[in-house]
Amino acid sequence: MKAFVVTHYGPDGLKAADVPAPSVGPRDVLVDIRAASINPLDMMVRNGEFKQLLKYKQPFVLGHDLSGVITKVGADVRGLEVGDEVYARPRDLRIGAFAEQLAIDADDVALKPSSLSFEEAAAVPLVALAAWQALVDVADVQPGHKVLVHAGAGGLGSTVVQVAKHLGAHVATTAHTNDIARVRALGADEVIDYTRDDFTQVVSGYDVVLDSLGAASLEKSLTILKPGGLAISVVGPPDPAFATQLGQPLLKPVMALLSRKVRRRARKLGVRYSFFFMRASGAQLASLAALYDAGTLRPVLDRTFPFDRTPDAMAYVEQGKASGKIVVTR
């Protein structure tokens, strides 16, 4: 079957290839992929940024988000059938959405929201799971909490804004001038035009910040938290808790060293820091599907590319110009 595989780590490491059809285990479902979306995580994995933690054997098929139709069901699978329209963020070490088919652990799969097209559904799993797990599982956001979301018009930020509003938070976000109306329509209570204003001069006393921009933004974000507030980063540096999540406790000293500077700065300010890396969950996707079908959440797409232009779609995301998710379709 046709796929896009990582042949070696680096910006030029993604190549088109013919690969064997997937084998289907007893707890797997085989999905005919109709659409897949691009995430910054795809570039990070392609470039080898997690190669010490996620030990993929090259060549491997890239892609973390998909929607499609089940064509085969493993012997031990219950609750899913051939012909079901589904969406998924396959678990790490079993990714492969940039292909015609993928065998996925049934625990990572859910029926796609019936109100969404395959293209829209493919844009949802990773960012929806990340938003929910960061705000609910990690930050325990409650009604009335104040949440700052960086890059509210982006693929992740646009979903975090919506989930935070659903949880009853007061939501501020940073955005480009051209995207202010867009993020207000998503529910943001306060929008900071980062081309004109420094967010640290506009907001303060926040309970939670979710940062997806990097070290400089993260360090500044610590200063707008109230005492005991929490800064969550999805781009690092990883902290010791991440080693526990990976099931590799021996890496805790390494993670502690990598995040020493930001954790020390957080302690000095009387706030907290957490690195966040989402986990696959079909059960959570099923709950999130109900929110999409109810209109509480909605996908935000920038544009679509045909499957054979997957590298072009990746390049577009890398340019940093996307307002929403980029999807490839078959």
The answer to whether position 282 is within a domain reads no
Supply the range of the domain harboring residue 200. Answer: 126-275
Report if residue 217 sits inside a domain: yes
Quote the pLDDT of residue 236: 81
54 & 164 share domain:
no
d(CA 231, CA 57): 34
pLDDT score at 243: 83
Q: What is the CATH number of the domain that holds 184?
A: 3.40.50.720
CATH of the domain at 23: 3.90.180.10
Peptide bond into 20 cis (omega under 30): no
Question: Does 291 fall in a domain?
Answer: no
Residue type, 278: M
Cα distance between the two ends of the chain: 13
Residue 157 in domain: yes
Packing angle, helices 282-293 and 125-132, rounded to 10:
100
Q: How far apart are CA 34 and CA 119, in angstroms?
A: 8
Residue type, position 23, single letter: S
Q: Do 61 and 45 belong together in one domain?
A: yes
Residues 137 and 214 in one domain: yes
Residue 245: the pLDDT is 82
Q: Domain for residue 294, yes or no? A: no
Same domain, 269 and 218: yes
Cβ 324 vs Cβ 301: under 8 Å: yes
pLDDT in tens, the chain (330 residues): 999 999 999 999 999 999 999 999 999 999 999 999 999 999 999 999 988 888 899 999 999 999 999 999 999 999 999 999 999 999 999 999 999 999 999 999 999 999 999 999 999 999 999 999 999 999 999 999 999 999 999 889 999 999 999 999 999 999 999 999 999 999 999 999 999 999 999 999 999 999 999 889 999 999 999 999 999 999 889 888 888 887 888 888 988 998 999 999 999 999 999 999 999 999 999 999 999 999 999 999 999 999 999 999 999 999 877 888 999 999
Contact 161, 187 (CB under 8 A): yes
Domain count of the fold of the chain: 2
What are the backbone dihedrals phi and psi of residue 170, each rounded to the nearest 5 degrees, phi first?
-85, 125
